[in-house]
Amino acid sequence: MTDQGLAGMSLFFLLLVMLSAMAVVYVKYDARLKFNQLQKELREQDRLGVEWSRLQLEKNTWSSNSRIEKLARTKLNLQTPKPEQIVYIKVK
């Protein structure tokens, strides 16, 4: 091989090595971005899980029978009917 042929091949391989290095840098950068996005989404998932638990607890509190009965007695002046006030209906 001539010196010109060796120089051409060396330049070609140098170009391949540089392209490979650039590809490695790009892939590592992209992996870091994706990892950061994953961490952000996991934090959001945790936050939403805590909020969901809090909302479930709040729902259970607001819909508890004792609370509803207390509101019915205080705000609506409802009372439990006396036995003589209860009317039974027979269904055929």
Using alpha carbons, list the distances in angstroms from residue 87 to 14, 40, 84.
Answer: 98, 61, 8
Q: What is the pLDDT of residues 16-32, one digit of tens each?
A: 999 999 999 999 999 99
Residues belonging to the chain: 92
Residues 70, 71, 77, 80, CA torsion sign: negative
In a domain, 33, yes or no: yes
Residue 48's SS3 state is: helix
**What is the model's pLDDT at position 26?**
98
As for how many domains the chain has, the answer is: 1
Residue 8, domain member (yes or no):
yes
Residue 56 pLDDT exceeds 90: yes
20 within domain boundaries: yes
Grade residue 1 by pLDDT with cuts at 50, 70 and 90: low
Give the tens place of pLDDT for each residue, 34-44: 999 999 999 99
Residue 91 is assigned to a structural domain of this protein: no
Q: Give me the domain span that covers residue 65.
A: 3-85
pTM across the whole model: 0.57
Residue 19 lies in a domain: yes
- Residue 90 inside a domain? The answer is no
In-domain check, residue 36 = yes
